[in-house]
Amino acid sequence: MLSEPRDGLLDRYQPGGAFDEAFDADGSVRDTYSRIVERFRELDVDEIRRLEKLVADEFRRQGITFTVYSEEEGTERIWPMDLFPRLIAAAEWDELARGLSQRVAALNCFLADLYNGGAAAVADGVVPRWLVMSSQCFERNAMGIAVPHSAHCNVAGIDVVRDTDGRYRVLEDNLRSPSGISYVIENRAAMAKACSWLFYDHAVQPTEQYGQMLRSTLQSMAPGGEHDPRIVVLTPGIFNAAYFEHAFLARSMGVELVEGRDLVVDDHKVYTRTIEGLVKVDVIYRRIDDDFLDPVAFRPNSTLGVPGLLSALRAGTVTVCNALGNGVVDDKGVYPYVPEMIRYYLGAEPIIDNVTTYMMWDPDQRREALARLDELVAKPVGESGGYGVLIGPHATEQQLDEARARIEAEPRSWIVQELVQLSTLPSVAEDRLEPRHLDLRPFVLTGERTQVFPGGLTRVAMRRGSLIVNSSQGGGSKDTWVLAPETP
C-alpha cells in the first residue's frame, strides 16, 4: 500500500499569499503537520484515487448525501471529503474553545436580556434598538417565554477563519439550526476506515461522543428539571437537505425523530402520536425554522409545524431547542455589535475578533466601503450558506455597480467586510496536493453548562483560488483533528 519516499504529491506545493496551515512562508512544514506531511509524501496519485474511491463508496453505501437546490429540483450528491486532514494543536484549540465559549455566553446573555430581561443592552445603547426591532428574525412571540438556565442557544455553530497572520476571526454566528455536525462524525469514521494508518502517529480527540453531549444538554433543558425527559428531534421530513443529519442525531441520542404531523398539542401540552395513544414530550430539538413551527402563530400554511406549540411554550410544559427568536443574532447586521456585547455582559475583551465590518446604515462607513467595494466583500444580512455574497475582487464592474445600487437602496440589508484571504491547506487536486482555502465551523453546546465539541466542520473550497467553501456551492470538507495535549 505504501511506497518508498519519492517525488510526489507535495513536491511542487506553493502556499501562496494566504496563511497556510501546514507550511510556513519559506516552505517549511509546521510542527503540527510534520508527520502527516511525511505520510502523504509516501503516497502517489493512484493510491490517493483508490482511497478517495473507498471513502466515496462508503458515503454512497450509507447514503451520506446533501442536497443542492437548483431552480426547479434538488440534486442529491455524495458528501465530498478531502483526504488531507486539518490538524489543530491542543494549545491552539484551547484558546479557540475559550473564545467560542465566551462568544456564545455573551450571545446567550443578549438573547435572555432581549426576550426576558428588559433589554438592558438595548436601553444602554450597546445595540441600537431600531436595528434589533427591524431584524426580520426578531421574534415578538418569544418575549416572556421562560428558558431554562437562560440558555437560548443550545447548539451554536460559529464560523471562524484565519487571516493572513494566522489569527482566528469569527466570520458568522449561527444560532438557529446550525447543520454539519453529522458530517464531522462521518468524516472521521470514513477516515478511520480508509486511512487508519494516518492516525498511528497522532493522539486525536474522538468525535463519537457528540450524541451523548447533545443528549445531556437537552436533558438539562427539560421544564421543571424533569430528570428523565422525553426528547424528540423535529425534522421537516425526508426531503429536507439536512434530513440525513436529523436522523443521525436522533439515532446517536437514542430518541425519536418526529415530523410535525407526529406531534399534537392538547391542553397546552405537546404529545407524540404513538400506536398506544398520546405520549407527552418534554424537550423538542427542532430543526425547523421559527416561521414554520406553529401555523397558528406563524405561517398559517405551514404543514411542517405543530398547531398550538406556542401555547405549550408559553405554558412552560415543553422546551424548544434552540429557543424561539435566536435568528436576531444570526442577522449579520447585529454581528458587528457582538464584541461590544462581550464587554457589556462579561466585562472582558473578546478572545476572538470579528472580521472588520462596515455597517451600511452608517453614511460615512457606507461611503468609504462603496468606494472600495472592488476590494471588499458585500453580504446580505439575512442570507446564509454563501447566497447573495459579492466578493469584490472577483466581481465584474456591472456586478459591482448593481451591488452599490442595492446597498444604497436598502442599507439596513447589507454589511460590507474586509476580504479575508482564508487560510489554506494542502488538498487533493488533479495529480497532486494544492493549497485550497478553508474555514471552520465548531459547535458549542449550552444547557446547564457549556461544552465546546472538539474540532468542527472544516469546509474547503475545491477550486484553486476560490473563497467559496459552502457545500451548497461546490465546497468540500476535511476531517478535523484536535490533537491531545501530549502531541506537539
Partner 1 sequence: MILARHAEALLWVGRYLERAETTSRCLNYAANSITHLRAGEARAEGELMVRTLGLQDELEAVGPLESQPQLVAFLLSDTDNPGSVVSAIVAVRENLRSVRDRIPIELWEEANGLYLRFPFLGHADAAPAGLHEVLLMVRRACLAISGVLNEGMRRDEGHAFVVVGRMLERSIFTVGLLEASHSDARGVMDAARMLRLTSSLQAYHRQHGNAPDTHGVVRYLLHAPDLPRSLLSCLGRAEEGLTGLGPNSAALDRARRKAALLRARLELGEVEEAMASAPVATLQDLAVQLTGLASDVHAGIVPPLAMATVQAQYVRPGGAGKGEGAG
Does 258 participate in binding partner 1 (rule CB under 8 A)? Answer: yes
Does 320 participate in binding partner 1 (rule CB under 8 A)? Answer: no
Peptide bond into 187 cis (omega under 30): no
Does 69 participate in binding partner 1 (rule CB under 8 A)? Answer: yes
Which of 169-177, 190-198, 451-459, 460-468 is the region at the interface with partner 1 (rule: CB under 8 A)?
169-177
Which of 5-13, 19-27, 170-178, 352-360 is the region at the interface with partner 1 (rule: CB under 8 A)?
170-178
Q: How far is the CB of 461 from partner 1 (least distance, A)?
A: 18
Does 237 participate in binding partner 1 (rule CB under 8 A)? Answer: yes
Does 176 participate in binding partner 1 (rule CB under 8 A)? Answer: yes
Yes or no: say if 99 and 351 are a contact pair by the CB < 8 Å rule.
Answer: yes
Q: What is the dihedral of CA 267, 222, 212, 284, to 10 degrees?
A: 30
Return the sign of the alpha-carbon dihedral for residues 25, 184, 178, 461. Answer: positive
Q: How far is the CB of 358 from partner 1 (least distance, A)?
A: 23
| DSSP character string of 370-384 | HHTGGGEEEEETT--
List of residues 6+ apart from 50 with CB closer than 8 A: none
Q: How far is the CB of 412 from partner 1 (least distance, A)?
A: 20
Query: Would you say 43 or 190 has its CB closer to partner 1?
Result: 190
DSSP three-state, residue 250: helix
Does 228 participate in binding partner 1 (rule CB under 8 A)? Answer: no
Site for partner 1 in 128-167 (CB under 8 A): 157
Q: Which amino acid is at 303?
A: T
Give the position of cell 417565554. 145
Query: Would you say 293 or 352 has its CB closer to partner 1?
Result: 293
Q: How far is the CB of 240 from partner 1 (least distance, A)?
A: 6
Among 260, 333, 435, 455, the residue binding partner 1 under the rule CB under 8 A is 260
Among 221, 233, 283, 433, the residue binding partner 1 under the rule CB under 8 A is 233
Q: How far is the CB of 10 from partner 1 (least distance, A)?
A: 34
Q: What is the dihedral of CA 100, 101, 103, 106, to 10 degrees?
A: 170
Which of 172-180, 333-341, 359-367, 426-434 is the region at the interface with partner 1 (rule: CB under 8 A)?
172-180
Burial (0-12, 13-18, 19+ Cβ within 10 Å), 5: exposed
Does 197 participate in binding partner 1 (rule CB under 8 A)? Answer: no
* Cell numbers standing for residue 110: 443578549
Site for partner 1 in 79-108 (CB under 8 A): none
Does 220 participate in binding partner 1 (rule CB under 8 A)? Answer: no
Query: Would you say 10 or 234 has its CB closer to partner 1?
Result: 234
Which of 142-150, 242-250, 368-376, 426-434 is the region at the interface with partner 1 (rule: CB under 8 A)?
242-250
Among 99, 178, 392, 442, the residue binding partner 1 under the rule CB under 8 A is 178
Does 308 participate in binding partner 1 (rule CB under 8 A)? Answer: no
Q: Which amino acid is at 187?
A: N
Does 331 participate in binding partner 1 (rule CB under 8 A)? Answer: no
Does 277 participate in binding partner 1 (rule CB under 8 A)? Answer: yes
Yes or no: say if 183 and 58 are a contact pair by the CB < 8 Å rule.
Answer: no
Helices (H), 67-209: 90-116, 120-123, 129-133, 181-194
Query: Would you say 194 or 369 has its CB closer to partner 1?
Result: 194
Query: Would you say 18 or 142 has its CB closer to partner 1?
Result: 142
Query: Would you say 47 or 289 has its CB closer to partner 1?
Result: 289
Q: How far is the CB of 243 from partner 1 (least distance, A)?
A: 8
Does 337 participate in binding partner 1 (rule CB under 8 A)? Answer: no
Q: Which residues bind partner 1 (CB under 8 A)?
A: 60-63, 67, 69-75, 157, 174, 176-179, 233, 236-244, 246-248, 250-251, 255-262, 264, 272-279, 287-289, 292, 303-304, 327, 330, 384-385, 387, 472
